[in-house]
Amino acid sequence: MKSLASINDKDIQIIKMALNDSISDMNTELKGKISDKKRSSLSDYKFKYTRVFEKLKQNSSLYALAASDLDIVAGGLNDAIELLEEHLMDEDLDDEEKEEIQNYKNDCARLIEILAS
């Protein structure tokens, strides 16, 4: 079992990238035609993800985050995994791109496991 202490600078960059990818996807979805309930929910998550992303930009340590923020990080990583799975189904990707996406997805999953322990 690994702990938060095992999360290094590269892992923090992966977390920030996952949060940023999730925020970007939410921005795209918010521009589309969605129900008011879905819009409200997405806006709430976007606000939370953005807040945590900004905290990590200021202080690249998970120890600077509250326990509720760590839950938000896990949610952002999970959302990023879903996006990556969608991208992996793109038939235009070459083997190198697929491998890069799969490695990013594996890193996100590993970080979720660490946060869950």
d(CA 40, CA 116): 27
**Class in CATH terms, 4-116:** mainly alpha
pLDDT digits (tens, 9 = 90+) for 86-113: 999 988 999 999 999 999 999 999 999 9
Cβ pair 27, 46 in contact under 8 A: yes
62 closest CA partner among 108, 12, 109: 12
pLDDT digits (tens, 9 = 90+) for 25-73: 999 999 999 999 999 999 999 999 999 999 999 998 888 899 999 999 9
Query: What six digits make up the tokens of 82?
Result: 């879903």
- Mean pLDDT, rounded, for 10-30: 96
Cβ pair 108, 82 in contact under 8 A: no
pTM of the entire structure?
A: 0.90
User: What confidence score (pLDDT) does residue 2 get?
Assistant: 67
